[in-house]
Amino acid sequence: DHCLKSCSAHSYIRKNWLGSIVFPFSALLQQSEFLDQTEVLQRAQIFKKNCKAMFPNRRIITTVFNDEGIQFLVTRYIKALNPPQQLLDIFLHNSNATFDLIARFVSLIPFMPNTPDENDGSDIWMTSERCISLAIGNKEEHAILLCNFFLYFGKQALVLLGTSVLEGHVAFVVTQETNEYLLWNPSTGQCYKQFDPFCPLKSVDCLFDDKNVWFNTQQNNTPMAVFFDYSKESFWKQLLPKNVQGTKVQSIQVTGFPIQMPYTDVQSIIDAVYQTGIHSAEFPQTEFALAVYIHPYPNNILSVWVYLASLVPHQ
């Protein structure tokens, strides 16, 4: 206290502990630039608020939490993932039959009840790998899984949020074919053409892929009336500007798959592993995981399972 006795007032400054915040080290590793990610998440919230102001009844989800409580853009859930090899081996020369089979496979994964849509943005979504390993998922996780499987074949696929006559709030997958759009229902495995009068989809509200989120601003949002070309800004309001869309964002999906084959000799197994190309990584920091299981059958017949995974740490 340096105030003279003649002063009529005294002032004191002291530091009070109000609280703290802890960022898990794993969370920092998963986000290459923490500040940039924060700005993008804030932008996503503002974008959602503005879209809701335009069409309050239309669905839009821009961010969700993973099972560790970390918030991500929904775009980071989209990545090309290979379906189980058993599904690929059934119709080797019929791609359309393979797509139908994959959609059927996804529909057989049990569903968990969705949270009310007023909680959109605070939902918890699992990765596709987690969805398969637990054999359960919500509507959005089913659609993401199916979309990721389609991307593996080079299809142009997006997740669609809307409403259905039969199911209420739904998540579909839309694929762009040569001269038409197809609408896939992950709940049933059924596929509909855009102008199919028997398609139960009632509204098309929002689209997203691994690059961006688009909100439908067309007055008529029924599937037959919707113009699906989301590059037209007069019909679709996009979350990220074009100069940001090209930025490579790390997906939160895990890349990996199993190999199952009869045992003949060690070299044939090694050759099968090399043929996957999983070792041909562009990043020198890539980490790999490998596990082998051999199941014995009578007469020395062996079934070999090789599990492969690759993880790319982003600095």
pLDDT computed for residue 203 by the predictor: 96
Residue type, 275: Q
List the beta bridge partners of residue 280: none
pLDDT computed for residue 152 by the predictor: 93
pLDDT computed for residue 115 by the predictor: 57
Q: Is the pTM of this model over 0.85?
A: no
Encode pLDDT of 96-119 as tens digits. 999 999 999 999 999 887 655 545
Per the structure block, which two tokens stand in for 89?
A: 């081996």
pLDDT computed for residue 75 by the predictor: 94
Higher pLDDT, 36 or 313: 36
Instruction: List own/partner pairs for 91-97 with CB under 8 A and 24 or more apart.
Output: 95/153
CATH number 3.30.1660 given to 250-314: yes
Q: What is the Cα–Cα distance from 215 to 238, expressed in whole angstroms?
A: 6
Q: What is the Cα–Cα distance from 228 to 275, expressed in whole angstroms?
A: 38
Q: Confirm if 122 and 114 have CB atoms less than 8 A apart.
A: no
Q: Which residue has the tokens 């959109």?
A: 120
Instruction: List own/partner pairs for 157-161 with CB under 8 A and 24 or more apart.
Output: 157/209, 158/207, 158/208, 158/209, 158/230, 159/74, 159/78, 159/207, 159/208, 159/209, 160/201, 160/204, 160/206, 160/207, 161/59, 161/60, 161/61, 161/205, 161/206, 161/207, 161/208
Residue positions counted in the chain: 315
Longest dimension (CA), the chain: 105
Residue type, 225: A
Q: What is the Cα–Cα distance from 149 to 296, expressed in whole angstroms?
A: 31
pLDDT computed for residue 241 by the predictor: 85
Q: What does the domain layout of the chain look like in residue ranges?
A: 33-246, 250-314
Question: Stretch 61-65: mean pLDDT, rounded?
Answer: 94
pLDDT computed for residue 315 by the predictor: 47
- Percentage with pLDDT > 90 across the chain: 48
Per the structure block, which two tokens stand in for 72?
A: 């991500």
CATH code of the domain made up of 33-246: 3.10.620.30
Residue 44: which of 127, 143, 141, 121 has the closest Cα?
Answer: 121
Same CATH topology for 33-246 and 250-314: the answer is no
Encode pLDDT of 246-259 as tens digits. 455 667 767 666 78
pLDDT computed for residue 246 by the predictor: 47
Label residue 303 by pLDDT band (50, 70, 90).
Answer: confident
